[in-house]
Chain A
Amino acid sequence: MAGFASCDKTTNHFMCYEPVYTDAETFRTAASFEAPKTITKDGNIYFKDNYLFIVEPNKGIHFIDNSDPANPNNTGFLNVMGASGLAIKGDYLYITALVDLVIVDVSNFNNPTEIKREEEIFPTALPLMEKNYPTTTIDKSLGIVTDWTVTETTEEVNDFPVWIGCFECETLTTFSASNGASAESGSGGTTGVSGSYALMTIKDDYLYVIDNNRLKPISISNPTELQVSDDVYLSWNVETIFPHGDHLYMGTTTGMMIYNTVDPSQPQWQGSISHARACDPVVVQGNYAYVTVRSAGWCGGDINQLDVVNITDKSNPYLVESFEMNDPHGVGIDGNTLFVCDGDQGLKVFNAENPSKAGDELIKRFGNIDAVDIIPINGVAMVIAEDGLFQYDYSDPENLSLISSIKF
């Protein structure tokens, strides 16, 4: 039998991302506003002053005049290489573009102009990855990683392992700063509202950007002279951020964390609630946080549910109730109307008058879309889906209706 000791053969078959490099000069070509382009992919969404902004991951931002939600008008495309998320305060649009933060003057939505770029502010940022594949070794001396090519790889391994990485692969965390389903607040100019898949948000005079397990507070009191504070190290991998009151709520792979912003330059942990490993966008209204816990792909875990968490005592949040869902992604709430983007089961609308029973009070389900994220505001729910942007009138929650759609 000893002769058989080395006769087992273990082979890993997988897809691997190989970096595509762009030299710094090309990468930092000033953002340009171009004619409208067809939206090709669901990215983060942001709403301000009747304009809806949709991130085209790694490429730029679509500007959509949504004054008439029944007839949204795609007015142009802001070409920003590496764009992944945005937030707006006053006349300034902040865009996370891989390692840089780009500041754009949007005093005129028809003529946005790049005015400044903070270089290498996110040194570990990488382009968005559609799939959770390992990456090959990244050599930063070759330029800035702006894209990926996917290669099929077969690799024989000696051990009988539980796979934890790939040979000569580095698993730098994808930086996917985006904007959260948050009613952001601030002085010196109004901010917008974002979807619940948020890794970037504005609260008062601070821009907060999540970079995996770090929170980077950036003072924007002087919009063109940013002051970057020390990173706040977070204990868990954070996926979404939502500002509410004096606190920041962060969804992580293992739970929700609450940080207070008494010192806005250094938010402090105040409380947390844990759950099994999964992805979990979070929104907050009143004394309740609504957390969608999803298990799929890189999220890990095996639960799919809506959690309602009582956050009256920020130091001791507790789970009020969980409701089984199918594949919950983004979540939004406005008044008593709760929206859950439940993957291929579509958009589910609940009556949240009694938060502890919200998940049982289904008002309506729009099952013909693969809903990803939502911004509900002023009676219009803007839903980004796998294949388009859909808008619903919920001014009468009992009589919800689709009012427009832009298919990708």
Chain B
Amino acid sequence: MMKALITTTLIVFGLQGFAQRNQLIELNNGSQIKGKIIDTNEQQTKIETRDGSVWVFQSNEIAKIGSYVPKVSSTGVYSRASLGILGGENFSPSFQLTNGYSFNSHWDLGMTVGVETVFWDWYVPTLVQGRFNLLDRHFTPFVDVAAGYMAPFRNWDNDKGGFTCGGALGITKFVSNRMGITTSVGYRYARMVELSPWWDDFRTIRQLNRIELRFAITFK
């Protein structure tokens, strides 16, 4: 749990730093300079770009000063890599890769594969994942639903894996036209079936309930 908090903190501070460098000066000639504004007054404005250069513009050259807003494509394919932690009766790591398609600025549909542990056993979840982005903006809350199958990584004879489904609420922020970062909190259910290697006709069914905390990077 402590690790998750530290990770969250680092990401929040990272985002703040990122936001400071995400300012934009539009010049009268149509040029745009993105960076961190380090000084501004009535006569001039200084902006430091990502490569460390400092540019100084006279106020009469500047048409507008504002924040950089990515222009994210509302349709097209996307890929998402996420790292998460599943918490409940035990804590376990989760890594997932999703490839999918954005039908419009709100609806995404993708296929997810990953690796996760349930107690001491590794599984490969294969999920169909749908997402509804609430806002038509580069920064939007979303609702996720997913369902699929947890296939065991080993011991196929006895461990049959099982159905899994879940939902999550989260926030996506695109930091460039093609890359966004996401954090979400959700719930996962799994119904795992295991056959006894010793007794005949002996099934153990485990119904798992997990809270899922996840961080992801999306490429569009």
Q: Spell out A's residues near B (CB within 8 Å).
A: 1, 4-15, 131-134, 160, 163, 297-298, 300, 302
Structural contact, B88 and A134, CB atoms closer than 8 A: no
B64 in the interface (beta carbon within 8 A) = no
Nearest chain A residue, comparing its CB with the CB of B194: A163
Ordered by A's residue number, 19 sampled pairs between the chains whose C-beta atoms are within 8 Å are: A1-B1, A1-B88, A4-B209, A4-B211, A7-B88, A7-B209, A8-B89, A9-B206, A12-B202, A13-B202, A13-B204, A13-B205, A14-B196, A14-B199, A132-B198, A133-B200, A133-B202, A298-B199, A300-B197
- Closest chain A CB from B87 CB (angstroms): 4
Contact check, B88 vs A8: say whether CB atoms are below 8 A apart. Answer: yes
Residues of B within 8 A of A160 (CB): 89-90, 119, 206
Please measure, in the bound complex, the distance between the C-alpha atom of A14 and the C-alpha atom of B200, giving whole angstroms.
8
1/0 per residue, CB under 8 A from A, across B160-182: the answer is 00000000000000000000000
- Nearest-neighbour CB distance to chain B for A146, whole angstroms, equals 21
Chain B positions within 8 Å of A1 at CB level: 1, 87-88, 91, 211
> Among the listed A8, A15, A131, A163, which residue makes an inter-chain contact with B209, where contact means beta carbons less than 8 Å apart?
A8
* B207 contacts A by Cβ under 8 Å: yes
A131:B210 contact, CB within 8 angstroms: no
Please determine whether A14 and B157 come into contact, CB atoms closer than 8 angstroms: no
Least Cβ–Cβ distance between B96 and chain A, in angstroms: 19
A298 to chain B minimum Cβ distance, whole angstroms, is 7
Chain A nearest CB, measured from B119 CB (Å): 6
Interface centre among A1, A10, A302 (most CB of B within 10 A): A1
B118 to chain A, nearest CB (A): 9
Q: In the complex the two chains form, what is the Cα distance from A13 to B205 in whole Å?
A: 8
- B38 within 8 A of partner (CB): no
Chain B's interface size range is: 20 to 34
Interface residues of B in 30-84 (CB under 8 A from A): none
Q: How far is the CA of A14 from the CA of B202 in the complex (A)?
A: 4
Q: Which B residues touch A163, using CB under 8 A?
A: 196, 198-199, 202, 204
A309 to chain B, nearest CB (A): 26
Contact of B206 among A8, A15, A132, A302 (CB under 8 A): A8
B15 at the interface (CB under 8 A from A): no
A302→B154 CA distance, assembly (Å) = 14
Write out, one digit per residue, whether chain B residues 1-13 have a CB within 8 A of any chain A CB (1) or not (0). Answer: 1000000000000
Render B182-213 as a binary contact track against A, CB cut-off 8 A, 1 for contact. 00000000000000111111111111111100
Whether B198 and A11, one on each chain, are in contact in the complex, defined by CB atoms closer than 8 angstroms, is: no
CA distance A12 to B208 in the complex (A): 14
A residues near B91, Cβ cutoff 8 Å:
1
Contact A298 B87 (CB under 8 A): no
Which A residues lie within 8 Å of B198 (CB)? 132, 163, 298, 300
Q: Which of A6, A8, A13, A302 contacts B207 (CB 8 A)?
A: A8
**CB contact between A13 and one of B119, B197, B203, B208 (< 8 Å): that residue:** B203
Binding site for A on B (CB under 8 A): 1, 87-91, 119, 157, 196-211
* Contacting pair A10 B204 (CB below 8 A): yes
Cα–Cα distance between A7 and B209 once the two chains are bound (Å)? 6
- Give the complex CA separation of A9 and B200 in angstroms: 22
Partner of B208, one of A8, A131, A302: A8
Contacts A4-B209, A9-B206; is A131 near B88 (CB within 8 Å)? no
Q: Which residues of B contact A133 (CB under 8 A)?
A: 199-202
* Cα distance A297–B195 in the bound complex, in angstroms: 11
Instruction: Give the Cβ gap from B212 to chain A, nearest Cβ, in Å.
Output: 10
Which residue from chain A places its CB closest to the CB of B211 in the assembled complex?
A: A1
B197: A residues at CB distance < 8 A: 300
Are B204 and A4 interface neighbours, CB within 8 A? no
* 4 A-B pairs closest in CB distance: A1-B87, A4-B88, A14-B202, A7-B209
Which residues of chain B have C-beta atoms less than 8 A from A15's C-beta? Answer: 200-202
By the criterion CB–CB under 8 Å, are B200 and A132 in contact?
Answer: yes
Give Cα distance in the complex from A300 to B195, angstroms.
Answer: 12
Q: Which of A4, A12, A300 contacts B203 (CB 8 A)?
A: A12
Q: How far is the CB of A11 from chain B (nearest CB, A)?
A: 5
Q: Determine which of A5, A297, A298 lies in contact with B88 in the assembled complex, contact meaning CB atoms within 8 Å.
A: A5
Q: How far is the CB of B195 from chain A (nearest CB, A)?
A: 10
Query: Which residues of B lie under 8 Å from residue A14 when comparing CB positions?
Result: 196, 199, 201-203
Given the complex of chains A and B, what is the CA–CA distance between A160 and B157 in angstroms?
A: 19
**For residue B204, which residues in chain A have a CB less than 8 angstroms away from its CB?**
10-13, 163
Q: In whole angstroms, what is the CA distance A163 to B195 when docked?
A: 10
* Minimal Cβ-Cβ distance residue in B for A7: B209
User: Shortest distance in angstroms between A312's beta carbon and chain B's nearest beta carbon?
Assistant: 36
Q: How far is the CB of A321 from chain B (nearest CB, A)?
A: 26
CB-based nearest B residue for A301: B197
Known contacts A1-B88, A160-B119, A302-B157; decide if A131 and B201 are in contact (CB<8 Å): yes
Bound CA–CA A302/B88 (angstroms): 34
Q: Which residues of B contact A5 (CB under 8 A)?
A: 88-89
- On whether the beta carbons of A9 and B202 are closer than 8 Å, the reply is no
B211 touches A297 (CB 8 A): no
| A residues near B88, Cβ cutoff 8 Å | 1, 4-5, 7-8
| B161, chain A: closest CB distance, angstroms | 15
Q: Chain A residues with Cβ under 8 A from B203's Cβ?
A: 12-14
Q: How far is the CA of A131 from the CA of B207 in the complex (A)?
A: 27
- Kindly state the separation between the CA atoms of A131 and B196 in the bound complex, as whole angstroms: 13
Chain A hits for B209, CB < 8 A: 4, 7-8
- In the complex, which residue of chain A has the Cβ closest to the Cβ of B193? A13
A297 and B206 contacting across the interface, CB-CB below 8 Å: no
Tell me the bound Cα distance from A9 to B207 in angstroms. 5
Shortest CB–CB separation between residue B3 and chain A, in angstroms?
13
Decide: B207 and A4 in contact? CB cutoff 8 A: no
A253 shortest CB reach to chain B, Å: 11
Give chain A nearest CB distance to B176 CB in angstroms: 33
Q: Which residues of B contact A11 (CB under 8 A)?
A: 204-207
